[in-house]
Structure 1
Amino acid sequence: MAREVSAPRVLALWCPDWPAIAAGAEKDLSPEQPIAVLSGGRVLSCSAAARAAGVRRGMRKREVQAICPHLYVTVDDAGRSARMFEPVLAAVADVIPAVEVMRPGLMVMSISGATRHFGSEADIAERVIDVVSACGVESQTGIADEVFTAVLAARHARLVDPGGGREFLAPLAVSELGCEPVLCAGPNGVADRDELIDLLWRMGIRTIGAFAALEVTDVSTRFGTDAVVAHRSARALPTRPVSARGPDADLVVEYRCDPLLEFVEAAAFVGRRLADDLHQRLLAANVACTRLTVRAVTASATSYARTWRCVRPMTPEDTADRIRWQLEGWMSGRNAPRPDAPIAVLRLEPVEVIDAAEMQYGFSGAGLPSDNETQERVRRALVRVQGLLGGDAVRVPVRSGGRGPAEQVTMVALGDEPAAARDPSLPWPGRLGGPSPAVLSSEPVEVLDAAGSPVRVTTRGGFSADPVSLCWGRRSWSVRWWTGPWSADEKWWMPGNDGVTSRAQVLLDDSRALLLRHERSAWVVEGVYE
């Protein structure tokens, strides 16, 4: 008889208000002391006592201090949160070794094998809560078939039945799709769902179930990339790329410390170097890491290890931060005994990698990527080309001032100061409005009227006759629609320059739209709309 294999189950453990709890624990504040942690001048996290006084997330500093004058206010410190979370991790790891950290205050673990030892899933959840309570920390657990549902289940202290993830998620408010920013990042690095949630709300979609009921094709064609990831989460489907696979042994990086590492600062310096080495190997292998184990071996051969999980691929900065947080937790000795000897070996072990082909990148701004990982990859490629072809061979665009689309871009050599040739903040009367052409050009063209005579712009700023056809290259097209011309009297004070430039837009019979520029009695195609 074939043996039935049970589906993997995930337990999530969530410590509410962790940044505030960690800040209070570091200063040994009373549990009754209201605490608020700020990020960007707004409340990121607050304690239960602060909420009872009326403090809420998103409030400004002055506002919360007016509401609660005896409030303890501090800024967000990811290193502090990670360091104070280490004793909780160590306690849970003694019960279930395969613990993955999503962020300080939130961890997930597979319990498929643990049920054979502890009994039911409820018994496992109770045991984990007990060991966390022994550390003086309140927590909630949730169990489901995949990570996203398990985390929301932890927020509601629910154990979801196998296969019941979608039913559990259905009545929840659609805003809960963005309740954990660490879960809101797809392969392209998108991490903020406020705009998506606001759009769904205005469309009348108020629950996760209503969003899950939409067709996949409708979501993929009418919303952004992250909406597709959110839609999979709403249907309780795993969001990991299908290409996820175990790493090759040659992706592991290791550093044998000489001299041995006894202080956090020295270990963090080595960790940053290891992070750069690891990402060089990942880049060469055309993969990115989504789960990473940080391992330290002391001179007495004692091994310490912790696994960190990210939904989006880790950047070198992400990796270096997690190494430092983990080393601070191990070596500070503030919340747990220090290692029994100095660190002799530091090792980074990618637990899960994805193919680079599965990652989608978005570009924005002055020709540069919008996320750190993409920016680093593009920068390295461009620097390499620049080294082969010379400093001026690689140029990047900088937004500039001007009236035409070509004038609104200044190309500067990679590495030079991104200084615009013309100030874009000036009014520039006569500037062409959006949208801008997708392709710039400067090819000559003839615009003809019904009699086949050239169409010009008169001194009164109008067409000499209605445009009927257009000769571009060796072909001729009919003009289905046109608008303009718009004239700008530029540099009229300069000798030998009539200064009058006119622009018009035309739609050809093959549905292409062109931007034309008329100057010195001649037309050129200035741009093509796509």
Structure 2
Amino acid sequence: MTTSPATADPVRVLLLWCPGWSVLATRLIQGIPADAALALTDRSVIVAASDAAVAEGVTAGLRLRQAQHRCPDLIVLPQDTLAETRAFEPMVRIIEDIVPDVHVVRPGIAAVKAQGPRRFYGGESEAAYALFSHLRTYAERDLRTSIDLRVAVADGLFTAEHAARNTTIATPVTVIPPGGSAAFLAGLPVSTACDKQMSHLLQRMGIRRLGEFAKLPRDQVHARFGAAGLHAHKLACGQDAPTLNARTVPADLTATIHFEPPTDRVEQIIARCRPAAARFTEQLTHSSLVCTEIRVGVQLEPDGLLERIWRHPWQFGQTEILDRVRWQLEDIATDSTTIDDEALPYRICTVQISPESVDAAAHHAQGLWGDRPDERIELALTGLQHRLGHDGVLTSAVGGGRLLHERRILWPWGDALPTERERRLEQPWPGSMPGPAPATVFAQALTVRVHTADGTAVTVNERGALRSEPVWLLLPTDRRRITSWAGPWPINQRWWRNPATVNRFQLADNDDAAWLVITDGRQWWAEGRYD
């Protein structure tokens, strides 16, 4: 007879939850009134809404257009996870004042092991109320606002989070006794522990609560659903064994340069920033980090502030940082006071350089054959950029769109290219051309003419079909015979603004060249050429 190994005592977790943190952080950052109807979006879908917006029927999961129909005065902003994380940082520091080794689950949720606070404060309930009172005092004193806070203590992170979500404003603190996780979780739906596909299958089997799911034999659940099912079954049984990783407080890498008295001389500002940029890069190297995104803030006299985030495709060095500071100063300059005059229309009080995105240096080591342009190319293009300005040297990328000129994205050299989401590559774009794009895309579509054999202009009917056979393609400087053609491919974009439809055709000529042309029914243009 064999005996199962003894089960270790579950980890008691003290968890803090701030309901609606995304909305609260955005409201504090943007200075939006507490009673305003505010909604945060991700890809035109509502992901969070304020109480005023919820009262108007705006809920998570609505399309943006539906939400604006229900609440015409709705303030809509994109969700910014990085900003929410920065806004939560002071809250984490306040927690660390009374409880060490804080584990940040995500912005708005933090957890610690309850063992230490329980001993210090004389019990888990006492520790939870001490944390609650400390944070409430901080919010009222420093943030000058009231924050909805919930605190829970339970076995494991999973149970503690759902216990916090089951609290109310009247009773914001709850303690699930040791060993009581399974009983507490039994009434929750299976979707709280299972993914969407597993949850749907369990509901079809008549299993709708975690208590019912926990009664199933674990070995059979493992055999049917694999590792995901085994993990979900352990959660349903209250056997969560989380690993709480105490966050490592990063070194403050922010470089701040003060000017006393304030100055408007560009070269003086750059000279003062050079040692700070050198220290900034040295600290990154000493910490084995690389910075791919920085925030440059320029404080103007008396109280103006201009901030901009700069991204780099590889990593920032001292030269790259100083270039971004100079380019930001160029943006401040007016037409009458240019950068060549070495004077700005405003006096600068402070320049602040802070890292926005850092990563381990090991993740950015070059491969055997390299992964960036040759150093001589970089020096040549950077030199041109110094002469022509930040936007004088551009690189290109492919974006989303229906027309070819919409898909071309030009970006300043040295800046990181937009992400696929920013380029909207994941969107379907009905009407866009499939297959390989033309090798040559004209900066401005060429006006051309398409004629029949007798010289009559070829037109298109309402269905997009040609009314006559195309024979001649008349270019601005040439005339070619059309040997074959294909189409139409209609483009009916923004039909609610302009009902006109544009049709695409492909034409091949007797000079072994192919053309992508568009027409509105009468006029023809060449978008590109297949070389």
* TM-score class, shorter: 0.3 to 0.5
Which one has more relative contact order, counting CA pairs under 8 Å at least 6 apart?
1
Report the TM-score, using the length of structure 2 for normalisation: 0.44
Q: TM-score w.r.t. structure 1 length? A: 0.44
